[in-house]
Structure formats: C-alpha cells, structure tokens
Amino acid sequence: MFKIKKQLISEVDQIKLAQQNPKDFEPLYKKYFLQIYKFVYSRIGSESNAKEITSLAFTKALVNVGKYKDKGFPFSSWLYRIARNEINDFYRRNQKQKCSVVSTEELFHLKDEIDVHHDHSDERMQKLVVLLNSLEEDEIELIELKYFEKRPYKEIAEITGLSESNVRVKTHRIVQKLKTKNNG
C-alpha cells in the first residue's frame, strides 16, 4: 500500500519532499541515475571515473536540492547541469583532453544531416570522425547534446547555460561548418 502511494506522487511533490528530508531524494536518484551516468560516461569514457563523477554530481544535487526552483524545465536538466560542471572540474583537475565516446549508430543521425549522399560506409564514417575531431570542445558539446543525445534546444540551453536562440544559432553554424568541410 505504501509503495503504491509513493509511486503516485508527482515529481514536483517528490522534489518538495526531498527539500524537507534528504532521504526522500532516493526515488529521484533511482529515476535519474542511469541517465546521468550515460551522460557522464559519454564524456569521460572510463567506467570508474564515470561512476565517481556521477556519484559526486548526485551528492551536490542532494546538498543543493533546497535551492532548486522549478523554472519550467525538467528536473533532469538541473541534474545534467550539475553533472556537466563536475565533468569540467574533472578535466581541469587532471589536465586531460576532453573526449567523447559515441557509437556508430549515434553518428548516423548527424551523418544524414551533413551528407546528402546518406552513405554510411566505414570510409565515410571515418571521415565524419575526423571532421568532428576538428571541432572545438564547446562545439562538440552542442553536437553531442543535439545529435547524439537528441535533446530539444530548450533543454540544451538549460544544461549549458546559454540562451535557446544562441544554442540554435551556434548549432546551426557548427552543422554548416561540418557540411562545408564534408563536401569540400
């Protein structure tokens, strides 16, 4: 009976409960752990580091959940934003070059966007990787969020702290740049 009651609680109410009592954060943790882990792993590429950073991100989220205010974005965007900051801290501390771990399947969507031939041969996919490697780190982040993780612009704006229109314009410019290079 108790379990059923818990499931019926809306996310907004669950956040309110967590703001009163940290133990009530657990359902939110369980709901979003895998999503945030995927996000982190795709930017770190190491299981142990990804687990540590995900754990740190949730710890910070729990510490700060009292300050969380609903601004019309999904709660997950707030978590992504914290995770993103942790990833940036990790790279700053370790002075490593940022990496992005993608599967070939994730690349297809972007490939179709920039290449009119829709050719998914190994050679063309390899070329796409070379092109992506020529991008700056902040540029690849927008590509990851839009094309690999297929997030709406509004959410990307919330995660990156940019305005929605800025995200749209920047992403458009990057795709144009890739198109030009790809067809050049």
Partner 1 sequence: MANIKIDNNKQQHFEKIKAENLDFSAVLENASKVKKWGLKTYLLNGLVCLAILGGLLALFNKKKNTPSTNKQEVKTELYGFAAPLEDHKVGFEQYQVKLKTDEPTEVMTKEGTKIVIPSQGLLNQDGSPVKGEITVKYRSFKDLKTIMQSGIPMVYDSAGVARVFESAGMFELYALQNDKLLSIAKGKSVEVQMTSNHLGDYFNQYYLDPETKAWRYTGKDTAGSVSFADVQVYEAALDVELQKLEASKPLMPKRVDEQKPFIKLNFNQKAYPELAAFKDVRFQIHESEQNFDADYAKESWSNVAINRALKSEIYNLCFSKKAREELCFKTTPVVSGRSFNTSKRMADKMLEQYNQKRAAIKKARAEAKRYLMIRSSELEAQKDSNAQEIAAREFIDTAGISIQGGRMVRANLSASPIRVFRIMGFGIWNCDFPSKVPNPVVSKLRLADQNGTILDAPRMQVYVVDIKRNMLYGHRVQHAEIAARYNNEDEPKNMLWATLGDRVYYYSADDFNTLEVGNAFTKTIQLNQMSAKSFVNLTDDEIFNL
Please say whether the beta carbons of 54 and 33 come within 8 A: yes
Q: Does residue 22 interact with partner 1 by CB under 8 A?
A: yes
CA distance 18 to 23: 7
* Candidates 3-11, 80-88, 104-112, 113-121; binding stretch for partner 1 (CB under 8 A): 104-112
Please say whether the beta carbons of 74 and 155 come within 8 A: yes
* Burial category of 157 from C-beta neighbours within 10 Å (exposed 0-12, middle 13-18, buried 19 and up): buried
* Total binding residues toward partner 1, as defined by CB under 8 A: 53
Contacting partner 1 within 42-71 (CB under 8 A): 42, 45, 47, 55-56, 58-59, 62-63, 66-67
**Using CB under 8 A, which of 33, 68, 73, 108 touches partner 1?**
33
Q: Does residue 89 interact with partner 1 by CB under 8 A?
A: no
**Using CB under 8 A, which of 6, 12, 13, 26 touches partner 1?**
26
Question: Cα-flanking dihedrals φ and ψ of residue 96, to 5°?
Answer: -105, 160
